[in-house]
Amino acid sequence: MYDRLKGFRDFYPGEMSARREVVDTVETAAARYGFREIGTPHLERTQMYVDKSGEEIVEELYAFEDKGGREVTLTPELTPTVARMVVAKQQALSKPIKWVSTRPFWRYEQVQQGRFREFYQTNADIFGSTEPEADAEILAFCADALTDLGLTADDFEFRVSHRDILGGLLRSFDADVDVADAVRAVDKSEKVEREEYLGLLSDAGLSYDQAGEFADLIERGDLDEIAEFGGDDVAAAVENLRNVLAAADDFGAGEFCEVSLSTARGLDYYTGVVFECFDSTGDVSRATFGGGRYDDLIESFGGQPTPAVGVGIGNATLQLLCQRAGVWPDEELATDYYLLTVGDTRGVASDIARDLRAAGNVVEVDVSDRSFGAQMSYADSVNADTVVIVGERDLENGEVTVKDMASGDQTTVPVDDFPGERDAPTYEDYE
């Protein structure tokens, strides 16, 4: 026996059917907003991530040298890849560019609740608009996806912040502050004790008193106070945040949004509005997903200046939220019809199966030459709604037997009338 690698998962058919239903729901919501599906490679040059995040990122990658001597890695995230794709065809692409995809990623990191070394995300991005409506549309798509899954405003909340507010406030202090380090400290603030948090801010260049003043300011979250304290740049960021929230309200997502300036998103490339989705009850401690604006990334990849905003929805954490709220789909198989054959009846059974499948039904036929009882047990195991018994004796009378598996009721039906003109005939149609 070979053991499965740590941080990687197997998905059996029942689990996979539930996952597929959720992904389809999220992608359908994205399609309604005009996001177009793309496909991306699972292998990229390692240097692309080093240039974006520094040499230390290699420790988190599944990186190696390929047979051509190239340093490559399994992709740990999508944003650099889509940035590369935009740069490659920037002149030919109509703006705004709205892309969506669902696929796996890989990071070599500590396995914990909702975090695996191979993980699946749906990513949606808008390139080419600086307007608040673009940020708001990402929030609205996310809200629609979650409510389409059966979640309500009692189940989740979007914590919305602005990186330029945080950066502007930090620069307003009379101190030599490493803004990136300080923002990363803010991102950790809810995971550590206050003293440790203030220590991290101090390490980034604030005095202890300044760190406390800054922490209190963003904790209160009074946007008027913050705009006045931080000066013109912060005031402009506050106005942008308010405009995004107003647009989100118009788009139907406002009820899910709350200002939370301690939401910072740790990645350095974020430039404006950022947000994370959390379980409202707190039972799921990790963010379900997050995103934000990254206006400088395309230019850093050699393209023309192109504003961008996007979100990455993690399948694992979304599953935790849906399970907590009781809306995760049943992890079971679904079969519309099982064609049970007795004797030399394959030809007739195959004709019926083709007609039913042509109408869009899920149909199974025995392929193992099993007994009547074994076939019936199998039909039950795949949750067949209806069993159609195609037996030699019935066919001598020009009939088949239609059995409702839920009630156990059955009746004989003329073989020429099944399925007949019906797309999905059941026992009730013939009783």
HEC string for the chain: CCCCCCCCCCCCHHHHHHHHHHHHHHHHHHHHCCCEECCCCCEEEHHHHHHHHCHHHHHHCCEEECCCCCEEEECCCCHHHHHHHHHHCCCCCCCCEEEEEEEEEECCCCCECCECCEEEEEEEEEECCCCHHHHHHHHHHHHHHHHHCCCCCCCEEEEEEEHHHHHHHHHHCCCCCCHHHHHHHHHCCCCCCHHHHHHHHHHCCCCHHHHHHHHHHHHHCCHHHHHHHHCHHHHHHHHHHHHHHHHHHHCCCHHHEEECCCCCCCCCCCCCEEEEEEECCCCCCCCCEEEEECCCHHHHCCCCCCCEEEEEEEHHHHHHHHHHHCCCCCCCCCEEEEEEEECCCHHHHHHHHHHHHHCCCCEEECCCCCCHHHHHHHHHHCCEEEEEEEEHHHHHCCEEEEEECCCCCEEEEEHHHCCCCCCCCCHHHCC
- 77 annotated as belonging to a binding site for a ligand: yes
- 269 annotated as belonging to a binding site for a ligand: yes
Residue 360, Cβ density class (10 Å: 0-12 exposed, 13-18 middle, ≥19 buried):
exposed
| 72 DSSP β-pair partners | 45, 64
- 268 annotated as belonging to a binding site for a ligand: no
| 127 DSSP β-pair partners | 97, 308
Pull the structure tokens for residue 329: 């789909």
Measured CA to CA, the distance from residue 378 to residue 369 in angstroms comes to: 12
- 2 annotated as belonging to a binding site for a ligand: no
- 265 annotated as belonging to a binding site for a ligand: yes
Measured CA to CA, the distance from residue 304 to residue 228 in angstroms comes to: 34
- 341 annotated as belonging to a binding site for a ligand: no
For helices 46-53 and 79-88, give the axis angle rounded to 10 degrees.
110
Neighbour count for residue 414 (Cβ, 10 Å): 12
- Residue 424: C-alpha distances to residues 356, 359, 399, 414 (Å): 7, 7, 18, 16
- 107 annotated as belonging to a binding site for a ligand: yes
Report the binding-site residues: 77-79, 107, 121, 125, 265, 269-270
Q: Which positions make up the binding site for L-histidine? A: 77-79, 107, 121, 125, 265, 269-270
